[in-house]
Chain A
Amino acid sequence: MPLPFIILFLPLIAALVILLGTRRSGQTSAMVSVGSVLITLACAIAMLFGAGEAASLTWMTIGDLTLDIGIEIDSKTRSMMFIVTFIGALVHIFSLQYMKDDDAKARFFGGLSLFMFSMTGIVLADNFAMMFIFWELVGVSSYLLIGHWYQKNSAADAAKKAFLMNRIGDFGFMIGILILFGLTGSLSFSDINNGLEIAEGASESKQAGLLTLATLCIFCGAIGKSAQFPLHTWLPDAMEGPTPVSALIHAATMVAAGVYMLVKVSFLLYAAPLAAEVISYIGCITALIAALIATQQDDIKKVLAYSTLSQLGYMVMAVGFVGMGEFDKQGPDSNIFDPANAAYFHLYTHAFFKALLFLGSGAVIYACHHQQNIWKMGGLKQKMPITTGTFAIGTAALLGIPYITSGFFSKDSVLAATYSKPHVFIPALCTVFLTAFYMTRLFVVAFLGKAKSDDAEHAKEVPPIMFLPLVLLAVFSIAAGWSFVSKLFGFDSHHIPHPHGLLIPVLASLMGFAGIGIGFLIYRGKEKDPIRIPLLANKFGFDELYAGIVRIFQDTVAYVAKALDQILIDGLLVRGLGAITAGTGSLLRRLQVGNLQGYAFLFGLGVIAIIYFLIISV
C-alpha cells in the first residue's frame, strides 16, 4: 500500500473505529485518534524526505469517463502534508487536556479524525472530482466540530451558517469544474493544464470567456472555504467551536485549503487574466475589511479570527497576481519567484504562528475559566510566563518583525508580488499597520498590566501537555523563515527576488513599528477601550445585511412559491379540474328526471334520431 494512501485512509479507519466501537468511552476514542494522527505525522515526515509517489485508485469508469482517487505529489504537497499532520498532532495532544471534562469526547475526536482524513484528501488530490469530494467532507467535519456543543443555540446556528456558506461556494466550484470538464473533457489537473496550453494558441473569444467564467467559479469555492469577502461571515461565528478546533481548522488548515487549491490550479490564471484581477481585488478587500473590524473586537478568539481572515486575504491577493507579466510561468517545484509561491509561502508560515496564537488563546481561556473577553483579562504575563512568551513570539511572527520571524519573509514576498499595482499595494501596506495595531492592542490588554477580573487573578500556567505544543509551534514560527528549513519544504526563503531592493521590507517594517508604537501608546494601562467605532465593532453590519437578504430573497420568495403552488397549481389546475368534473356531473344529473314518462319521451326521441341517421342521411 503506497505511503500516501496510509496517510489518507488511516484517520478514516480511526473515525470508523470510534463510530462503531469506542463511542461510549471518550478516553479510548481520544487515544485512537491521537494514535492515528501520530502515525500519519511520522509518514508525513518520511514524505518530506522524499518517500511517497503518485498513485491512483479507480472509483468509477463509464466508457471514456474515469473518476479516480488519484494522488499527485510535488514539493507543495509534501510541505502541506507536514503542516497538516504536524499541527493536527499538536492540536490533538492539546485537546487531550482542553477537552478532558467534556461529555462528548468520543464525538469530538471522531470529528477530528474525519477532518484529518478529509484535509489529507484535499492535499493529495490530483483531479477536480477528488478535490471536490474532500472539499465537501472538510465542510461536514467543520460542521460537526463547530457544532460540538450543539445544545447551545449559537453553536448550532454557527455550524449551520458555516456549512451553508461553504455550500454556496461549492455551488460555484462545481460550475467551474463542469465548465472545465466541458471544455477539456478531463478532470485531472495535469490534463487540463495540457489541454489549456493547446487551447491557448487557438483560443477564440468564446473559449476565453468561458475559461474566465470557469476560473471565477472555481474561485467561488475558495471564497467559501477560505472565507473571503463576501462569504466571510461564517468564520468569526465558527469561534463557537472549541478552541483547538479553531486552531486546527479555522486557522491553519481548512481555510488554507482554498488558497492551496488556488495555488495548485494557478495555471488557469495564465489564461484568464480578468479572473486573476478579480481575485486580487477580493483578497485585498478582505484583508483590509477584516483588519479594520479586528481593531474593535473584544473577544480574544474573534480578534484572531478576523486576523486569520485578513491574512487569508493576503494570500488570495498574492495568487491574483499570477500571470501579471512580470513573472513567467514556472513549474511547482521552481524556486524562481512566482506569486503563487509567495502565497503558498505565507500560507505555510501563517499556519504555524496562527495555530500558535489560537492554541495560546486556548490556554488563556482554559486558565481564566473560559473567560474570552480581553477586557476581563490582564496581568497574565506574571502568572503564565510560558504562554505569554510563546504568544509574544506568535504575535511577532504575525507582525513580521524583521529577519527574526518567518512571518517577515513571507509577508515581504506577498507585498513584493503586489507591488506592481499601487491600488492593491497601498491597502496591503495599510493592513500591515492595522495588523500591528490590533495585535498590540490584544497583547497589551490581555497579557500586560494588572488583572482586570477575578478569573484573571486566579489564572495559573497550563500543564505541560498544553504548553509543549505552544513551544514547538513557537520554534517553528521562527525557524520556518530560516533558509535551510524552508528548503526542506520546497523553497528558499532567502532567494526571494526583491525587484525594488530593500524598499518593501523597509516600508513594511516602518508600518509595523508604527502600529506597535501607537497601539502601546493608546492601550497601555487602560481599563476599557478608549476608542469606540460602532461600525467596526458591528463588523460593518454584514450579518444583518445577509440576514435581510436571506429574508427577502429566500424566505419571501419561498413563501411566494408556496402560495403560487397552492393557489395556481393545486387550486386552479388540480382542484379546478376536480371542480369542473363535479360541475359537469351536476349538470348532467338533470337528465335523470326520475319520471317514467320523461324517460319514455327521451327514448322516443332517440329512436327518431336513429331512424333519421340510418335512413335519411346514410
Chain B
Amino acid sequence: MSLFLYLLIFLPIGACVAILSGAPARLTALVVSAVNVAICALLVLAFDSAHNLTIFQFEGAIELLSEPQLALSVGLDGMSLILVILATLVTLCAVWCTPVSIPGNQRLFHICTLLISTGAIGAFISTDLFFFYAFHELALIPTFLMIAYWGYGHERRAIAWKTTIYLALGGIILLAGLLALYANIPTQEATFNIEALTKDASQIPAGTQKWIALTLLVGFGILVSLFPFHSWAAPAYSAAPTPVAMLHAGVLKKFGLYGLLRVAMPMLPEGFNTPLGFFFGDLTVMNLMLILLLGNILFIGLVTISQDYLDKMLGFSSVMHMGYAFLGIACYNAVGWTGAVMMMFAHGISIALLFALCGNLRQRKLPSLDLDSLGGLGKSAPTFALLFGFAAFASIGLPGFANFASELLIFLGAFQGADGEFGMLQIVTILALWGVVISAVYMLRAYRKTFQGDTGETESIPDLSASERWPIIILIAALLAIGFFPGLFVDIIKPAFTAFHGAK
C-alpha cells in the first residue's frame, strides 16, 4: 500500500518529465491530478480508522543514508489523510481552472503547478523530518516563478521577490528550530524519523523546550501568515495566477499548522506551557499564540473590511481565518485539534473556491476588481451568482458547510474542561467570536457590491461555462458533504488525538 503513497509524489514528477518531452501540458496535468484523486479515494477506503494509536498506516521507506538514518519514508495517519484529500482535490480543481490558452510558456506553467502540488503532498505524507521540510521548500520556487511570470498587476515582480524572500526567511527560522530540536533530542541512534524522534523528545529539559517552541511557532507562523508575519499573503494572492492562489492559500499554508500538530506539539509537550521569562514575563508560548491569533482575527478582519479590491479582500480574509485554526490548536485537547484539522480542510477548500471564482471574474476582462466599479452581475450571470453565494456563505461559516462544523468544534473545544474556571483561552475565544460578524460583513458586502443591486461599469458578463462550472461544483459539493456529515472526517481524525490527549 505504501506504493500508492509514493505514486502520489512520483506521478506528478513523472508528468513533469512527460510534459518536458512534449506531452500536451494541460491534459497531462489534468490526467495526473485526477489519478491522484483516485489514489486518494483508494487510500480513504483502505484507511482503518479503528486504529487507536498514533501509528502511521501504509508505511514505507526508501533508505538513502544509513548514518545518520535518512530515508524517504512515508506514512498516513488521520490528520495527514485529510490533508492529502485536500491537496489532491485542490490540485485537480486548480489545474482545471487554468485557462486553456496561457500567454508564455504553457509547459513551464503546468510543470510549476505540478511541482507545487508534489511539494505539498510530499510534506504531508513524509514521516521523515528532513523530507518533511524539504518537500515544502520544493514548492517555494515554482510559486516564485509563477507569480513573477504569469501574475497580475504591475508590481508582480516585486511581490514575487518579497513573498519568496519572506517565506524563505520563515523557512530558515523553521530550519533553525528543527535543527535545535534535533540537536537536543537525546537519541540512541541518529535518525530523522518523526515517530522515533517523538518518543525521545519529551526528555528535553523544559527550559530548552520553550525556546525551541518559540522558534518553531515563529517559523511555522510565518508560513501560515500568523499576525504579525502576514504581510506577504494578501499581495501575493492578489498578484498570483489563479491556480497558484488556490494551491498556496488552500494547501501550502496548511503546512505550518500541520507542522505544529505533527512536530512541535507532540515533541515539546512542556515547551508550550512553560513561562518564557525575559521580557515576556509570565507568558507562555501558548499565551503568545492566543494573543497573536486575536491579531489575525480582529485586526486583520478589520483590515479586510477596509479593502476596496476583491482579490486583496480575499487574500486578507484567508489570513483572518487562520486565526481560528490557531485557536483550535491552542485548545490543546482532542476536540480542539480535530476542529483545527477540519478547519484546515474546510478553509482550504473554501478559499480555493473563492479564488477560483475570482479568477473566473478576471477572465471576463472586467476593467478592475474594484468593488465600487462592479455591480449587478447577478442579472447576466445567475449561475455565477448562485455559486459565488454558496462560496461566500461557506466561508462565513454557515451551518451545512464544513467550515461551520470545524468552527463549532473549535469553540466547543475551547470551553470543554473549563469546569467553570474561565481563563485566557476562554476569553480569547469569546473575543474571537466577533470574527463571525466581521467575516459576514466583508463577505456579504463584497457579494452585494459585485452581484446584486444596480449594474456598475460592466453591464453584463458571460455566465460560467460548463468547464468552468465543474471544478467549482466539486469544491462546493465537498464542503456540503463534510458539512452535513462531518462524522466521516471526525472519525478518521480523532483516534490520533484522543490517544495523545487521553480521550478527554
A178 within 8 A of B: yes
Q: Does A574 contact B231, Cβ atoms closer than 8 Å?
A: yes
Q: Which residue of B lies closest to A121 (CB)?
A: B399
Q: Does A129 contact B408, Cβ atoms closer than 8 Å?
A: yes
Mark contacts of B388-409 with chain A using CB atoms, 8 A cut-off: 1 yes-contact digit, 0 otherwise. Answer: 0000010000111000110011
Q: Does A558 contact B305, Cβ atoms closer than 8 Å?
A: yes
A175 within 8 A of B: yes
Residues of B within 8 A of A152 (CB): 453
Residues of B within 8 A of A185 (CB): 416, 419
Q: Does B433 contact A156, Cβ atoms closer than 8 Å?
A: no
Residues of B within 8 A of A558 (CB): 302-303, 305-306
- Among B400, B409, B444, B452, the residue within 8 A (CB) of A163 is B444
A132–B398 Cα gap in the complex (Å)?
10
A64 within 8 A of B: yes
Q: Does A63 contact B444, Cβ atoms closer than 8 Å?
A: no
A127–B409 Cα gap in the complex (Å)?
15
Please tell me which stretch of B109-117, B345-353, B422-430 contacts chain A, meaning at least 4 of its Cβ atoms lie within 8 angstroms of it: B422-430
A565–B227 Cα gap in the complex (Å)?
10
- Among A62, A129, A178, the residue within 8 A (CB) of B430 is A178
A197–B477 Cα gap in the complex (Å)?
44
A176–B441 Cα gap in the complex (Å)?
22
Q: What total of chain A residues lie within 8 Å of the partner, measured CB to CB? A: 55
A152–B441 Cα gap in the complex (Å)?
20
Q: Does B494 contact A561, Cβ atoms closer than 8 Å?
A: no
A570–B305 Cα gap in the complex (Å)?
18
Mark contacts of A35-59 with chain B using CB atoms, 8 A cut-off: 1 yes-contact digit, 0 otherwise. Answer: 0000000000000000000000011
A519–B474 Cα gap in the complex (Å)?
60
Interface size, B (range) = 35 or more
Q: Does B441 contact A140, Cβ atoms closer than 8 Å?
A: no
Q: Does A137 contact B448, Cβ atoms closer than 8 Å?
A: no
What's the nearest-Cβ distance from chain A to residue B501, in Å?
8
Q: Does B398 contact A554, Cβ atoms closer than 8 Å?
A: no
Given contacts A182-B419, A182-B422, contact A150 B408 (CB under 8 A): no
A506 within 8 A of B: no
B24-69 at interface with A (beta carbon < 8 Å): none
Q: Does A565 contact B433, Cβ atoms closer than 8 Å?
A: no
Mark contacts of B321-337 with chain A using CB atoms, 8 A cut-off: 1 yes-contact digit, 0 otherwise. Answer: 00000000000001100
Mark contacts of B462-492 with chain A using CB atoms, 8 A cut-off: 1 yes-contact digit, 0 otherwise. Answer: 0000000000000000000000001100100
B299 within 8 A of A: yes
- Among B166, B306, B414, B444, the residue within 8 A (CB) of A164 is B444
- Among B393, B398, B412, the residue within 8 A (CB) of A65 is B412
Given contacts A59-B486, A554-B441, contact A181 B412 (CB under 8 A): yes
Residues of A within 8 A of B400 (CB): 133, 137
Residues of A within 8 A of B10 (CB): none
Q: Does A62 contact B378, Cβ atoms closer than 8 Å?
A: no
Q: Which residue of B lies closest to A178 (CB)?
A: B415
A206–B421 Cα gap in the complex (Å)?
9
B162-178 at interface with A (beta carbon < 8 Å): 162, 165-166
Residues of B within 8 A of A561 (CB): 299, 302-303, 306
Given contacts A61-B487, A62-B335, A150-B378, contact A555 B412 (CB under 8 A): no
Given contacts A58-B487, A183-B420, contact A153 B231 (CB under 8 A): no
Residues of A within 8 A of B414 (CB): 178
A608 within 8 A of B: no
B366 within 8 A of A: no
A129–B400 Cα gap in the complex (Å)?
13
Q: Which residue of A lies closest to B493 (CB)?
A: A62
Mark contacts of A154-189 with chain B using CB atoms, 8 A cut-off: 1 yes-contact digit, 0 otherwise. Answer: 001100100110011011001100110111010100
B376 within 8 A of A: yes
Q: Which residue of B lies closest to A199 (CB)?
A: B420
Q: Which residue of B lies closest to A134 (CB)?
A: B399
A485 within 8 A of B: no
What's the nearest-Cβ distance from chain A to residue B172, in Å?
13
A185–B421 Cα gap in the complex (Å)?
12
A552 within 8 A of B: no
A129–B444 Cα gap in the complex (Å)?
24
What's the nearest-Cβ distance from chain B to residue A20, in Å?
10
Q: Does B412 contact A63, Cβ atoms closer than 8 Å?
A: no
Mark contacts of A121-160 with chain B using CB atoms, 8 A cut-off: 1 yes-contact digit, 0 otherwise. Answer: 0000000010011101100100000010011110011001
Q: Does A63 contact B437, Cβ atoms closer than 8 Å?
A: no
Q: Does B412 contact A59, Cβ atoms closer than 8 Å?
A: no
A573 within 8 A of B: yes
Q: Does B302 contact A160, Cβ atoms closer than 8 Å?
A: no
A558-587 at interface with B (beta carbon < 8 Å): 558-559, 561-562, 565, 569-570, 573-574, 578
Residues of B within 8 A of A164 (CB): 437, 440-441, 444
Residues of A within 8 A of B272 (CB): none
Residues of A within 8 A of B441 (CB): 164, 554
- Among B231, B393, B408, the residue within 8 A (CB) of A67 is B408
Residues of A within 8 A of B426 (CB): 178, 182
B186 within 8 A of A: no
A565–B233 Cα gap in the complex (Å)?
13
Question: Which 3 pairs across A and B sit closest by C-beta, in order of nearness?
Answer: A558-B306, A156-B452, A182-B418
Identify 18 residue pairs between A and B in the complex whose beta-carbon atoms are under 8 Å apart, listed by A's number: A63-B498, A65-B412, A140-B393, A150-B451, A150-B452, A151-B453, A164-B437, A167-B437, A168-B437, A171-B437, A175-B430, A175-B433, A178-B412, A178-B415, A557-B302, A558-B305, A562-B306, A569-B228
B-to-A contact residues, CB < 8 Å: 162, 165-166, 228, 230-232, 299-300, 302-303, 305-307, 334-335, 338, 376, 378-379, 393, 398-400, 404-405, 408-409, 411-412, 414-416, 418-420, 422, 426, 429-430, 433-434, 436-437, 440-441, 444-445, 448, 451-454, 486-487, 490, 494, 498, 503-504
Known contacts A63-B494, A150-B451, A185-B419; 17 additional CB pairs below 8 A are: A61-B490, A62-B338, A63-B503, A134-B399, A153-B453, A153-B454, A156-B452, A157-B453, A160-B448, A170-B436, A171-B436, A175-B430, A175-B433, A179-B415, A181-B415, A558-B303, A562-B303
